[in-house]
Amino acid sequence: MEVYLDNHASTRCAPEVVEAMLPFFDRDYANPSAVSSAAGRRVHDAVEAARESLAEMLGCRPSEVIFTSGATESNNLAIGGVLARLDGGHVCATAIEHSSVRAPVRECRRQGFQVDEIAVDSQGFVAPDALQATLRPDTRMVSIMAANNEIGTIQDLTRLIPVVRQTAAVLHVDATQAIGKIPCSFRDLDIDLLTFSAHKLHGPKGIGVLVVRQGSRRVRLQPQVWGGGHERGFRSGTLNVPGIIGLHRAVQLALDDLPVVQERVRRLRDEFWALLREQIPGLVLNGPPLDGSGRLWNNLHCQFPGVEGQTLSLACPEVAMSSGSACSANQTEPSHVLLAIGLGPDQARSSLRFGLSRYTTCDEIKAAAAAIADAFAQLRNI
C-alpha cells in the first residue's frame, strides 16, 4: 500500500478544485485581459469574482491580491521588490525561513544590505525579546514565517508584530504552510506583505499569491517581472486562470470545514506518533509538543536514532515522507531549521518529516507506521 505523508511538500488537488478549474481549460479559455469580447469579459469576471471572494477570506482588499506562480515567486517579489527601492539598511528574517526567503535575503546582503537572522528557541519559536534584540533603528524589512514547513512551529504573530511595529520596517509573512490550517487575517494581524501557494492546500501547482498592503507609505514595491503591466503592474504575464480559480476553491474548501478536518487529522497524527513510538525504541520528537496550539496539526517530525533519515526513507519507498526541507534541491546538507533549534548534524540527518492531510486514513497511518518500523529494524540490524 502506497501512503502519501509528504503533504508539506505538495498535496493532492481536491476533486472539487479540479472540477472548478476544468471549464477554464477548454471552454472559458479567453485571455482575461481581452475584455472587449464577451468570451474575454466572462473570464475576466470569473477571475475578479475569485479575487474578491479570496480577499474576503484573507481579510484584505481585492486590489491587494497579486497572483504569482507560487510562494517562491511571491517571496522573491516581496523581498526583492521592497529592497530594490531602498539604498541600504538592515534586513532580518528568522533563522528557520524557507529557502525562497533565505536566498533573496542572501542576495540583498550581496547588494550591500546588512542582514541578521532572528534566533529561535529549541522548538522553533521566536521570542519577542529575541526579535527586539535583532531590530535596529535602520531595519527596513523583517520576514517572519507564520508556520514552519519542517517542524510545524506556528509563530505567535499577535505577540511578534507589535514589536516590529515599534520600528518603520516593512513586515513580510510567509504563510505558505499556514493558510487553510490556522486562521490568518491580513488586516487584523497588521501585516504588510503575505505569501502563500495553492498546492500546499489541495490546490494546483504553479499559482500563488502575494498580498500587498495598499495605502501605506512604508510598502513600495518594485516589480520583478516586467511586461504588460498585469496585476496592477506588480507582476506582468497572462494570468493563470485555471490556477486562480483552483486556488480560490482550495482556500474556500480548507476554511469551510477547518475545525472538523483539524480535529480528525490531529487525532490521526497523534495515533501515528503513538504507533511509531511503540515500535521504534528511542524515537525523539523534534519541534513543539503535539498537544499544544503551537504546532501545525498535520505535522510530525522525529529523530530515528542510529539511522539516517534519507536511508530510512529510501528503504521504505511506499511511504512518501521527507528527509530534507520541502522543495529543497540539495538534501545532503543537514537542515538549517534543525540546526537552528539546536540539533547536531547527526541528529538532523537522522530525522524525518511527515505531513498528513484531510485525505489521510487510519489504515494508511497503520500501514505507514508498520512499514517504517520494519525498515528501521532492518537498517538497525545492518
Ligand X SMILES: Cc1ncc(COP(=O)(O)O)c(C=O)c1O
Catalytic residues: 327
Counting contacts by CB under 6 A, is residue 323 touching ligand X? Answer: no
> How many helices and strands, by DSSP H and E, does the chain display?
14, 12
**Cβ closer to ligand X: 339 or 367?**
339
State the Cα–Cα distance between residues 9 and 320, nearest whole angstrom: 10
**Cβ closer to ligand X: 6 or 364?**
6
Counting contacts by CB under 6 A, is residue 326 touching ligand X? Answer: yes
- 73 HSE (CA, 13 A, CB side): 20
**Cβ closer to ligand X: 72 or 139?**
72
Residue 197 · residue 213 · CB < 8 Å: no
State the Cα–Cα distance between residues 11 and 120, nearest whole angstrom: 28
Counting contacts by CB under 6 A, is residue 261 touching ligand X? Answer: no
Counting contacts by CB under 6 A, is residue 72 touching ligand X? Answer: yes
In terms of phi and psi (left: phi > 0; alpha: psi -120 to 50; beta: otherwise), the region of 65 is beta
CB of 344 to ligand X, least distance (A): 24
Instruction: List the grid coordinates of 16.
Output: 472539487
Distance of CA 174 to the CA centre of its chain: 6
Counting contacts by CB under 6 A, is residue 64 touching ligand X? Answer: no
Counting contacts by CB under 6 A, is residue 176 touching ligand X? Answer: yes
User: DSSP string spanning 227-244?
Assistant: SS-TGGGTB-S---HHHH
CB of 207 to ligand X, least distance (A): 8
Within positions 126 to 165, which residues make up the interface with ligand X, using CB under 6 A?
145, 149
Counting contacts by CB under 6 A, is residue 240 touching ligand X? Answer: no
Binding pattern to ligand X, positions 198-227, x when CB under 6 A?
A: ----------x-------------------
Closest CA to 169 of 193, 195, 145, 187: 193
**Cβ closer to ligand X: 70 or 180?**
70
**Cβ closer to ligand X: 210 or 280?**
210
Could you list the residues that contact ligand X (CB under 6 A)? Answer: 70-72, 75, 98, 100, 145, 149, 174, 176-177, 197, 208, 326-327
